[in-house]
């Protein structure tokens, strides 16, 4: 399977111009750190930065809730700190899920661009014949 994809990549690069081939190489698979870095290269990077700041604030609130939960003496205090901690934890989870969805969206867009390049490459090859 990998040999076939390497052959296809080689054929595509042969039909592309140098600029297009360079662009095609940039569209390759990314590891997790490159995906996270890609979040900060979009138009909405300001929103991602604000989300991370809010996430750290929620983590601080969660830490305070855990400390106060452990040192609580009455049942009402336990319930209050547990609910507050649950809300803070839910908030962190929602923000992280949004980030993961954005990374997935970026990966899908990258694959769509690869497909577009492959289609244009095939059309160019067919037109030459």
pTM over 0.75: no
What tokens appear for 38 in the block?
Answer: 């890609």
The span from the first CA to the last CA of the chain, in angstroms, equals: 28
> Which of 112, 105, 113 lies closest to 48, judged by CA?
105
What tokens appear for 9 in the block?
Answer: 């990549």
pLDDT of residue 56: 96
From the CB of residue 9, how many other CB atoms can be counted at a distance below 10 Å?
Answer: 15
pLDDT of residue 8: 63
pLDDT of residue 59: 97
pLDDT of residue 23: 65
pLDDT of residue 1: 45
pLDDT of residue 117: 79
Residue 87 near residue 128, CB atoms below 8 Å: no
pLDDT of residue 34: 85
Rounded-to-integer distance, Cα 93 and Cα 33, Å: 19
Return the residue matching tokens 């899908």.
Answer: 108
Q: How do the pLDDT tens digits run along the chain, 129 residues long? A: 455 666 666 666 666 666 666 666 666 677 878 888 888 888 889 999 999 999 999 999 999 999 999 999 999 999 999 999 999 999 999 999 999 999 999 889 888 888 887 787 778 777 776
């Amino acid at each position: 399977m990998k040999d076939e994809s390497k052959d296809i990549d080689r054929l595509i690069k042969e039909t592309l111009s140098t600029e297009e081939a360079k662009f095609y190489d940039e569209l390759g698979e990314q590891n997790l750190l490159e995906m996270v870095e890609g979040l900060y290269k979009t138009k909405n990077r300001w929103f991602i930065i604000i989300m991370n700041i809010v996430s750290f604030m929620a983590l601080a609130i969660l830490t305070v809730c855990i400390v106060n939960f452990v040192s609580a003496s009455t049942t009402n205090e336990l319930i209050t700190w547990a609910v507050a901690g649950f809300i803070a934890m839910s908030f962190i989870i929602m923000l992280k899920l949004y980030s993961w969805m954005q990374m997935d969206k970026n990966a899908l867009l990258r694959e769509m661009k690869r497909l577009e390049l492959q289609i244009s490459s095939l059309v160019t090859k067919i037109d030459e014949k």
